[in-house]
Amino acid sequence: MSIPLRRGDLILLAQERAGQRRAQAECLSAAGFAVLELVSTDEAVSALESRSDVRLLIVEPHMPGCISGLELGRFVSRRWPHVPTLVLGWPTEAIPSLPPSVHLLPDTCPSPVLLEVVLARLTPTRQPAGG
């Protein structure tokens, strides 16, 4: 079940590289999202456990913390299946063991492209009439 997109929806942005994290946070904030910047997978898990308003997680594959960004995506898909995960910085070829809610994006993904992907992941798909 998709939740309608609302101004102020919360995105967790877990990235080790401060400059890239800030640029992406600014782009997402300018589009009306609330962004919580995190520097480890441990912080991301804490935020997910303490908040009920998280709509999306953006993470790097190799982050400080008890698990990798890819493992965090798998964990989130099991525990919070309504929260999609975008993994930045991984080759875009598919990894068969990843759940469908975990999406891979290249490391060079510019902020405007990231915003397009975020909007696509958070915008509910319309059901055809009568179906």
Q: How far apart are CA 71 and CA 25, in angstroms?
A: 23
Number of domains composing the chain: 1
Q: Does residue 90 lie within any of the structural domains?
A: yes
Which pLDDT score is estimated for 7?
62
Which pLDDT score is estimated for 103?
83
Rg (CA), the chain: 14
pLDDT along the chain (131 residues), means of 10: 61 90 90 93 97 93 91 94 89 74 80 85 57 44
* Region of residue 130 (left: phi > 0; alpha: psi -120 to 50; beta: else): left
Q: What is the pTM of this model?
A: 0.82
The sign of the torsion formed by the CA atoms of 117, 121, 57, 31 equals positive
Q: Does residue 20 lie within any of the structural domains?
A: yes
Domain range for 55 is 10-122
Which pLDDT score is estimated for 5?
55
Q: Does residue 32 lie within any of the structural domains?
A: yes
CA 47, distance to chain mean position in Å, is 13
Alpha helices in the chain (DSSP H): 18-30, 41-50, 69-79, 111-122
Q: Does residue 74 lie within any of the structural domains?
A: yes
Q: What is the CATH number of the domain that holds 53?
A: 3.40.50.2300
Q: Does residue 4 lie within any of the structural domains?
A: no
